[in-house]
Amino acid sequence: WVYSRHFPLSDLYESLIFLSWSFSIIHKIFDFKNNQNHLSAITAPSAFFTQGFATSGF
């Protein structure tokens, strides 16, 4: 999406993959800043299930 100069939000698949990677990045940022955080309990499963739903084909 860097070369085409737009966010990958043109269809549901690209939107969910983008959301999943965003959850993963948020999870890693908070994981590095604080090893005992409760936000990881939300962001890690959210990334996992969003990725699963995006690739399932529903």
pLDDT digits (tens, 9 = 90+) for 16-53: 888 888 888 988 888 787 776 677 788 888 888 888 88
Residue 17 lies in a domain: yes
Identify the pLDDT of residue 6.
Answer: 74
Residue 56 lies in a domain: no
pLDDT digits (tens, 9 = 90+) for 28-38: 888 787 776 67
Q: In whole angstroms, what is the distance from residue 37 CA to residue 24 CA? A: 15
* Claim: this prediction has a pTM higher than 0.95: no
Residue 49 lies in a domain: no
Identify the pLDDT of residue 1.
Answer: 64
Residue 45 lies in a domain: no
Residue 3 lies in a domain: no
* Cα 40 to Cα 1, 9, 25, 37, 49, distances in angstroms: 27, 25, 11, 6, 14
Provide the domain count of the chain.
1
Range of the domain at 27: 10-34
Tokens matching residue 14: 């690209």
Residue 43 lies in a domain: no
- In the predicted structure, residue 3 carries a pLDDT above the cut 70: yes
Residue 1 lies in a domain: no
HSE of 44 in the Cβ direction (CA atoms, 13 Å)? 8
